[in-house]
Structure 1
Amino acid sequence: MADESVLRTVDVSRESGYSVQQVRDLERLGVVPAAARSSNGYRAYAPVHVRALRAYRGLAGAIGPVAARQLMAELWTRTVAEAAAAINAVHAGLAREREEVVRAQQALWAIESEAAHHDAAEGGDTVDDTMTITELAAALGVRTSTLRFWEREGLVAPDRVTSLRARRYDPSAIGAARIVAALRGSGYGIPAVRDIIDSLHSLEEGAGTERARHILLKRLDDIAARSVQLLRAGADLAATLDSLTRDGARA
């Protein structure tokens, strides 16, 4: 298929896997640039539209359709350097999500060890020492208001040790916050998270840990699947950036 080819809507539908109506809707939403119009008024697409739709499919699998639509629409208004940076940020975001789930697993192991030996485990969150609310929010990628909400809901219990009663999070609270963040990221509501956190801190052997361990492993599998979707979109995203270069965008 040569770059000079003119494609009908039905051709783009067949090549991209989207229905004719979906192709039109995604064009209207800015996922692909507006098609040219032939002399008789019909849409005249190009191969770049097909590649952009395929790239969108992979992005939607990696970060969700809403975020993917926003990113694809923005790519057409950015320089090549800006567009490449936006795509790199998606990769970095997935890597950060995985890192936080691994840290949550380490926190879970520490809690299990403490319950079994009645002593704090070495490693895991012990290396974090204490954190302020601002530091912990930045580490988890959440707002400070989110941490305050978790505190009100009984999910995380910081200490207040300064003269201004400012929050300080010890390793135990940091570990709980990491687990809460991972569970919330997996789609669990506050009541379910509270139930798991409460059971983790009970002294009943194995209480809650198996459920939490299963959720975290499933979360890692989900992130891995989303990463694969992003990798599959790579060639089509590269073709999209090439089109920006051909259209005169400057890095």
Structure 2
Amino acid sequence: MGRNLQSSRRLRPVDLARGHGLSTQAVRNYEEAGILPAAGRTPHGHRTYTPLHAKALGAFLALVPAHGHRTASSIMQAVNRGAVDEALRIVDESHAQLLDDRRTLQAVESALRDLGPAAGSGPGSAFIGPLARKLGIRPATLRTWERAGLVSPRRDPRTGYRVYAEADVRDAHLAHQLRRGGYLLEQIAPLIAQVRAAGGTEPLEAALCDWRRRLSVRGRAMLTGAAELDAYLSASTAGTASAGRGA
């Protein structure tokens, strides 16, 4: 009964497209890309789809906001060529990336909290030796951070010594906290750039709140995508089993 329902109910490309708010060309493109299983053909060569194709399309459209278009495509392509384990591995890797993004956000938030009000206060400038001692690092480390763009001290025109302004001291403290958290210089640089662009750590709070919101939205989308993918896998498995019994 289940097999007959899947095979006898034929859907035109326009039926599939309208049901998901797409164009018929988009549906054809998804099939050609392997995101949908291959369509059947009428004697006149017209494509015909089934409810299974609708489930595949629904799964893909649910996976896109969760994993991005490229990753969602890779997941569906793997499933449709029978490589379910590979598809699940891709899903796992995307979940791991979300977890890594959450940890990065937590590290930034923790680093900003640990800066404290004194991190950017004081006389307004510092030399490399005193600043290095305050952070518990070597002056050479500060010079490395400068080459990586984490701090940008000016040079005293008379002595040539590095002079760290209040914002540089703040950036050095933030870099120090993130380095202690295990982050690489190339990972820290864009975060420091965000702080500078925001004009300090306080305006960055709005960006962090938005970042946190987007991670939550993505996490919820992953739940929805997983449910739709599981439904498609179950339908595919049931259809394969029915076809085997019929043979």
Query: What TM-score range do you get, normalising by the shorter chain?
Result: 0.5 to 0.7
Contact 1:12 1:45 survives alignment (8 Å): yes
Instruction: Quote the residue 1:155 is aligned against.
Output: 150
Give secondary structure in 2 for the equivalent of 1:11: helix
Instruction: Quote the residue 2:110 is aligned against.
Output: 106
Per-residue CA deviations over 1:164-206 (Å, capped at 9, x if unaligned) read xxxxx9645346958984895xxx8xxxx5362598xxxxxxx
Instruction: Quote the residue 1:235 is aligned against.
Output: 227
The 1:172/1:56 distance shift into structure 2, 3 A limit, reads closer
Instruction: Quote the residue 1:247 is aligned against.
Output: 240
Per-residue CA deviations over 1:7-36 (Å, capped at 9, x if unaligned) read 110111122222111111111111112211
Give secondary structure in 1 for the equivalent of 2:202: helix
Q: Supply the RMSD in Å over aligned alpha carbons.
A: 3.7
Instruction: Quote the residue 2:216 is aligned against.
Output: 224
The 1:214/1:179 distance shift into structure 2, 3 A limit, reads farther
Rg larger in structure? 2
Contact 1:75 1:83 survives alignment (8 Å): yes
Structure 2: runs of 5 or more not aligned:
123-136, 138-144, 153-174, 242-247
Give secondary structure in 1 for the equivalent of 2:232: helix
Structure 1: runs of 5 or more not aligned:
119-129, 131-149, 158-168, 200-206
Contact 1:38 1:44 survives alignment (8 Å): yes
Instruction: Quote the residue 2:206 is aligned against.
Output: 214
Instruction: Quote the residue 2:179 is aligned against.
Output: 173
Greater shift, 171-180 or 67-76, is seen at 171-180
**Letter in structure 2 aligned against 1:37:** R
Post-superposition offset of 1:6: 1.5
Pair 1:49 & 2:42 matched: no
The 1:226/1:151 distance shift into structure 2, 3 A limit, reads farther
Greater shift, 83-92 or 28-37, is seen at 83-92
Contact 1:183 1:216 survives alignment (8 Å): no
Post-superposition offset of 1:41: 0.9
Percent of residue pairs bearing the same amino acid type: 30
**What's the TM-score, normalizing by structure 2?**
0.64
Contact 1:32 1:49 survives alignment (8 Å): yes
The 1:117/1:110 distance shift into structure 2, 3 A limit, reads farther
Equivalent-residue separation in structure 2 for 1:108 and 1:176 (angstroms): 16
Equivalent-residue separation in structure 2 for 1:176 and 1:197 (angstroms): 22
**Letter in structure 1 aligned against 2:209:** L
Equivalent-residue separation in structure 1 for 2:189 and 2:22 (angstroms): 33
Give secondary structure in 2 for the equivalent of 1:83: helix
Instruction: Quote the residue 1:76 is aligned against.
Output: 80
Equivalent-residue separation in structure 1 for 2:52 and 2:217 (angstroms): 26
Pair 1:3 & 2:6 matched: yes
Instruction: Quote the residue 2:35 is aligned against.
Output: 31
Greater shift, 74-83 or 100-109, is seen at 74-83
